[in-house]
Chain A
Amino acid sequence: MKLKMLYSFLKTDIDEIEKELNLAIESDTALLKDASLHLLQAGGKRIRPVFVLLSAKTGDYDIHVIKNVAVTLELIHMASLVHDDVIDDAELRRGRTTIKAQWDNQVAMYTGDYMFARALDYMTIIEEPIAHRILSNAIVELCIGEIAQIEDKYRFNQNLRDYLRRIKRKTALLIAVSCQLGAVAGKVPEEVHTRLYRFGYYVGMAYQITDDILDFTSSEEELGKPAGGDLLQGNITLPVLYALKNEELAPKIKKVHEYTQKEEMSLLINEILATDAIQKSAQLSQLYLKKALKELDALPPSKAKKSLRDIALFIGKRKY
């Protein structure tokens, strides 16, 4: 089953958000509009808007209000992708040339800054101060997380706590606030929106751990990049942390640097796969998933609740 099937009843509203995203990037400056459109047309799962809509369904659902939160979060995500491509020196994203490759770093920086400002502009339609406190804290934390990721590169003596804190900021936080802000915009009581925050946080953690596992277990064809790419770039992910506990393997892992040869990496990946690192990582991902599902238990039965549950399970089972 495809992810989209799990929330097909939202199709009209998701189309509305897509339309709004197109309006959001309108600009009299042709190049800015072209660059933004270039990224928008590359598509994406729009998973954050989906979480916003589903969470909002737990309260007073008015698409004309909720869509502003959904557009905000997708624009923030898009702005971060444009800047990430400068950070990663990436030529391709979702099979299309990146803005930095199609134009240059400067255009990418201006486009990202423009999109971020557009996002905040949309967010100001929401007048609840708490919504702004939640989002602004998340944005700052997100940046700190990205900086920590660079600081922690090739730092093999980091621990599980470092890793979890990093993926919280890098991935889980934006999913968590997508859920929480959807609920805040739906004017639900605090108890419900903090519950949805926790649901999003746990799902996000499970999602990122799964992503980190797939970097080792998927083929180059499925990933669109060589397997083990994270380790090669110095990102110490959960499977690596577990594999580092193997005394024989640890010295070999610690020797990895950005110029390690492909053949050498393939051998190392096979050795990591032969340990229990993947299995233990999957266990932790499942544990987060279980916690996510438990948060949903207290919510009254609804189509939205079922979709949130199905999406969480889908994320837990995804193969690439």
Chain B
Amino acid sequence: MNKQKSSRWMEETLQYIKEQLHHSYLHNAIGAPEIDEKRLSLLLLPFQITGSYSELDKAYVSTAMLIQTALDTHEKVSVQETDSLKHRQLTVLAGDFYSGLYYRILAQIPDIPLIRRIAHAIQEINEHKIDITSKKLDKVEDILFSLMKIESAIITQVFAHRGFDKYISLAEDLLVLNRLAREKDQFSSDEHSIFFQQLAKISSSAPQMYHNDDLDTHYNLFTQTKNQIASKIKELEIPFESLKGSVFIPFFEAAVQPKIYVEEG
């Protein structure tokens, strides 16, 4: 793989996505949308390995990023309504606008099967989002499964559509690992963590009571996922230089055994 070529693909794709998302009034009022570059680096991984990336591929990758940005933007609509009404209004509309862009790009190609695949992914993601935020899941595996679907359903569909099925399982694990790292950061800085909230629901009859075991559970899942990723990298014979995307950061960071214990419930 040519390193220069792959960073050019990254830059060009990022530029194209930014151009698509550009709306001067929206960006002045609520800020430019955050583009998840970790996810973008993962989307580009199979192309880097195969050494080929066409204009059509760029459209597929950008589409996946646009819809992800749309869903991420809607995540920012607050439940507590702490932001101003205008900010909330524009955040809703920005997400709707970005998701319209994904459809428009694929309609122009046209690629109706991919429109269908992504529509299925969006449905699945929102079903899992509702499940994980509104009900008590029965097992830790169910929490992990929901998080995995929320994080990876779109990439999975794009990879499958492009014939990159063998990378799907690796993508799922990498995105779950990144999500687990994020959940831990949120929990550690006293922000809301849906993962730890669900663990609390499973391990305690009283909601919002965290247990020492929850951090252990997180550590075990994190380590287990890292091991899975390591064996998949080996199995797929992915060259070391391809593991430099930002999505691999949590994979290379050493997992820290929990030492800080929160008060027992």
Question: Do A105 and B86 touch (CB < 8 A)?
Answer: no
The residue of chain B having its C-beta at the shortest distance from the C-beta of A141 within the complex is B100
Question: Do B130 and A110 touch (CB < 8 A)?
Answer: yes
Within the complex, what minimum Cβ distance (angstroms) separates A207 from chain B? Answer: 22
- Interface assignment of A89: CB less than 8 Å from any CB of chain B: yes
Question: Do B93 and A32 touch (CB < 8 A)?
Answer: no
Stretch at the interface among B31-39, B110-118, B179-187: B110-118
Q: Find chain A residues with CB under 8 A from B68 CB.
A: none
Q: Find chain B residues with CB under 8 A from A129 CB.
A: 107, 110, 112
Question: Do A133 and B90 touch (CB < 8 A)?
Answer: no
Complex CA gap A144/B93 in Å reads 8
Question: Do A139 and B74 touch (CB < 8 A)?
Answer: no
- Interface assignment of A86: CB less than 8 Å from any CB of chain B: yes
Complex CA gap A31/B122 in Å reads 17
Question: Do B77 and A150 touch (CB < 8 A)?
Answer: no
Mark out the residues of chain A between 106 and 122 whose CB falls within 8 Å of any chain B CB in the assembled complex: 106-107, 109-111, 113-114, 116-118, 120-121
Question: Do A144 and B97 touch (CB < 8 A)?
Answer: yes
Q: Find chain B residues with CB under 8 A from A146 CB.
A: 93, 96
Complex CA gap A79/B169 in Å reads 32
Render B82-99 as a binary contact track against A, CB cut-off 8 A, 1 for contact: 000110111011111101
Question: Do A116 and B99 touch (CB < 8 A)?
Answer: yes
Complex CA gap A16/B25 in Å reads 42
Q: Find chain B residues with CB under 8 A from A150 CB.
A: 86, 89-90, 93
Q: Beyond A29-B131, A121-B119, is A110–B89 a contact (Cβ under 8 Å)?
A: no
Complex CA gap A189/B52 in Å reads 41
Within the complex, what minimum Cβ distance (angstroms) separates B15 from chain A? Answer: 20
Question: Do A114 and B123 touch (CB < 8 A)?
Answer: yes
Within the complex, what minimum Cβ distance (angstroms) separates A308 from chain B? Answer: 27
By the criterion of a CB under 8 Å from any partner CB, how many residues of chain B are at the interface? 47
The residue of chain B having its C-beta at the shortest distance from the C-beta of A104 within the complex is B79
- Interface assignment of B168: CB less than 8 Å from any CB of chain A: no
Complex CA gap A139/B118 in Å reads 17
- Interface assignment of B259: CB less than 8 Å from any CB of chain A: no
Q: Beyond A146-B93, A150-B86, is A133–B110 a contact (Cβ under 8 Å)?
A: yes
Within the complex, what minimum Cβ distance (angstroms) separates B214 from chain A? Answer: 23
Within the complex, what minimum Cβ distance (angstroms) separates B20 from chain A? Answer: 10
Q: Beyond A83-B96, A87-B92, is A139–B104 a contact (Cβ under 8 Å)?
A: yes
Q: Beyond A31-B134, A31-B135, A127-B112, is A117–B126 a contact (Cβ under 8 Å)?
A: yes
Within the complex, what minimum Cβ distance (angstroms) separates B24 from chain A? Answer: 10
Render A115-141 as a binary contact track against B, CB cut-off 8 A, 1 for contact: 011101101100101001101110110
Q: What are the nearest 8 A-B pairs in CB distance?
A: A117-B122, A132-B107, A136-B107, A143-B97, A129-B110, A124-B116, A136-B104, A114-B126
Return 25 A-B CB contacts under 8 Å, by A number.
A27-B123, A27-B127, A80-B96, A86-B88, A87-B89, A89-B85, A109-B95, A110-B74, A110-B126, A111-B126, A116-B96, A116-B99, A117-B122, A120-B115, A121-B119, A123-B115, A124-B113, A124-B115, A136-B100, A136-B104, A137-B104, A143-B93, A144-B23, A150-B86, A150-B89
Which B residues have a C-beta under 8 Å from some C-beta of A?
23, 25-26, 70-71, 74, 77-79, 81, 85-86, 88-90, 92-97, 99-101, 103-104, 106-108, 110, 112-113, 115-116, 118-120, 122-123, 126-127, 129-131, 133-135
Given A106-B77, A132-B112, 16 more A-B residue pairs with CB atoms under 8 Å apart are A83-B96, A86-B77, A105-B78, A106-B79, A107-B134, A109-B77, A110-B126, A116-B96, A120-B119, A121-B119, A124-B119, A140-B104, A147-B23, A147-B26, A147-B94, A150-B90
